[in-house]
Amino acid sequence: MQLNTITELLNIPNYKVTHMIRNTSDRLHVMLDQMEATPAVCSGCGNIHHDSVHSRGFIVVEDLRISGKREFLHVPKRRTCCIEDGAIRVEEIDWLSGRFTKRFAEEVYRLTAITTNQEAGCGTWASMMKPSSGLTGRCWKTVPWRGSIPFSLRPI
């Protein structure tokens, strides 16, 4: 699959696929980068601190499937020094929710709203609960429903 095609399928504003990291029978890992550099939004205070990029790294997040394959995006993230408290903060990216894209999290949320715990059972979600999936591995039946996605969505 061409990188431009994947970029179009992903349709993430101002991000493009720069290269394919891994393409197996069931998973696709691609590296993204911004098309035009935008200032980093501080995850601590929500402001932009110009000229204060401390370091760069990336986060791996799961997105919706493409061509039946689980899709993992390697997204660059900058760390900035927050002028409010002096702490090093990872930038906030508005289409991410922890280790997932927001649309992936919303899809899981939608599916769980349709399927009750009794209907789903643990087996249905077993494949998603592997440690490599980034989820906590807790069975849905053991997680009390409080109207939010009951697994770790902690930002890095």
Nearer to Zn ion, 82 or 96 (CB): 82
Considering only 44, 79, 100, 135, the residue that binds Zn ion (CB under 5 A) is 44
Contacts of 60 (CB under 8 A, 6+ apart): 29, 72, 73, 74, 75, 99, 134
Look-up: residue for tokens 């205070």? 45
Number of residues this chain uses to bind Zn ion (CB under 5 A): 5
* Sign for the pseudo-dihedral over CA of 114, 71, 8, 67: negative
Minimum CB distance to Zn ion smaller for 49 or for 74:
49
Give the angle subtended at the CA of 42 by the CAs of 148 and 17, to the nearest 5°. 80
Convert residues 79-118 into a mask of x (bound to Zn ion by CB under 5 A) and - (unbound).
---x-x----------------------------------
15 binds Zn ion (CB under 5 A): no
Query: In a 3-state reduction of DSSP, which class is residue 122?
Result: helix
Among 17, 42, 93, 135, binds Zn ion (CB under 5 A): 42
The alpha carbon of residue 37 and the mean position of all alpha carbons in its chain are separated, in whole angstroms, by 20
40 near Zn ion, judged by CB under 5 A: no
Shortest separation between residue 55's beta carbon and Zn ion, angstroms: 15
45 binds Zn ion (CB under 5 A): yes
Cα 89 from Cα 81, distance rounded (Å): 6
Residues making contact with Zn ion (CB under 5 A): 42, 44-45, 82, 84
